[in-house]
Structure formats: structure tokens, C-alpha cells
Amino acid sequence: MVYKDRKDAGKYLASMLTQYKDRKDTIILALPRGGVVVGYEVSKALNCPLDIIIIRKIGCPGQPELAIGAVSETGTFVLNEDIISAYGVPGEYIEKEISKQKNEISRRKTLYRDGKDIPSLDGKTVILVDDGVATGATIKAAISTLKKENLARLVVALPVSSIQASREIKNIVDEWVCPETPEWFSAVGEFYQDFTQVSDEDVVDILKKKVK
């Protein structure tokens, strides 16, 4: 399946999550930036509040789209040791990138949420949404962060995922919802007709009109 755009993907994903419609204990958490567009459509369809969890990918030297790890806004970080070993990524590079991404997280936190922390998730069902995953490093950092909260249930919902990421993620969450796990996978954007980059301004605008 190839989605028209992120809005189309969000509407399709929402159709697979109807059991959560109008649930007062459920919140949609989206990963900026692209996941916020998908998450907004899910939020509207389910009539559940939308918020964000800020995670920053650590790219491989010379291949920034290849994630060797990720850092969350709470300071939790996940490293893909297999990729780090295979590419011989030095520890100094990783430390520098973690510091750099923490600074970017602080900037985005101020921009998107006026510097406030994630809202209380105590006893909540969280539906974690992005526009897709390749290595899964970013969303695994989000999962690690959320597992430190007293959640009732953690659902990960994605329009598309690599098979490898699917195998890893579905075993560490309560529910995995993903309509597309193609055998041949090189990049998330391949599964969208329009995969235009989402800007900070787009995210801010969506959060202003979100379901509360």
C-alpha cells in the first residue's frame, strides 16, 4: 500500500483503532514532526486528546538518515549497538551527537509546548504514533521513556514499518497496530505519494487546533 500523504495514513490508521474512540482514559502521543500530522488525524477520528513526545534521532556519520540511536526529552537514550559496531562509530561522535540532540530537544520543547513537560500519563492508555519506522531507534527511545510512566496500556500505531523493526517493537508493547510491513523496505518515504517535510510551523499550527 502507498498512502496519498500523512493525512491519508492517519485516517487509515484510525480505522484500525476504533475500539479507543471516545475513551476518556486514552491519549494520542505523536512523534514530531511527521508523526504529528498522522497523530492529528487519529486524534480527530477517535475524539481523543493529542500531545507530543519529543525524540531526536542520532544519525550515522555520513549517513544521517541511518539511525544509530535516539534521545528522548526525558534524557532516556537508546543505541543500536549492531549498527554502531558495523560502521565503527566512535564513542566521541556519539557523545557529541547526544549533547547536540538534547539542545535541539530543548528548543523544540520551548517551541511546541512552551517548555512544559509531557502531561501526566498516570493510568492512561497511550497510543504512540509516527509516520513510519525503518530501524525503529526513535520510537524505541519513546517506548523506553513511556515505560517509566504508570501507564494502563501502551499501543504503538504506525502506517508502515520494516519487518525487523516490527519484530522488535511488537514484543515490547501491549499492542502493535501496523497495516504495512513490506518485505522490501529501504525508506519510509517510499510508501507515500507525498512525503513533504513537515515544518516546525506546521507542528505548532496542528497543536493549536488539536483535540483536548
Q: What is the per-residue pLDDT across 95-147, written as a single tens digit (0 to 9) for each?
A: 999 999 999 999 999 999 998 888 889 999 999 999 999 888 889 989 988 98
What's the Cα-to-Cα distance from 107 to each of 98, 115, 150, 194, rounded to whole Å?
14, 8, 27, 27
Residue 106: the pLDDT is 93
Residue 70: the pLDDT is 86
Percent of the chain predicted with pLDDT > 70 = 99
Residue 212: the pLDDT is 65
The CATH homologous superfamily of the domain defined by 57-111: PRTase-like (3.30.1310.20)
- Stretch(es) of the chain classified as CATH 3.40.50.2020: 6-54+113-208
Residue of 68, 60, 73 whose CA lies nearest to 101: 73
pLDDT tens by residue, 91-105: 999 999 999 999 999
> Mean pLDDT for each consecutive 10-residue tract of the chain (212 residues)?
97 98 96 96 96 91 87 85 93 94 93 89 97 90 90 98 94 97 93 96 91 66
- Stretch(es) of the chain classified as CATH 3.30.1310.20: 57-111
For domain 6-54+113-208, the question of CATH label 3.40.50.2020 is answered with yes
Alpha-helix runs per DSSP H in 152-196: 163-169
* CB atoms near residue 101 (< 10 Å): 21
Beta-strand relationship, 153-157 and 125-129: parallel
Residue 176: the pLDDT is 98
Segment holding 201, helix H or strand E: helix 200-208
User: Whole-angstrom Cα distance, residue 174 to residue 171?
Assistant: 8
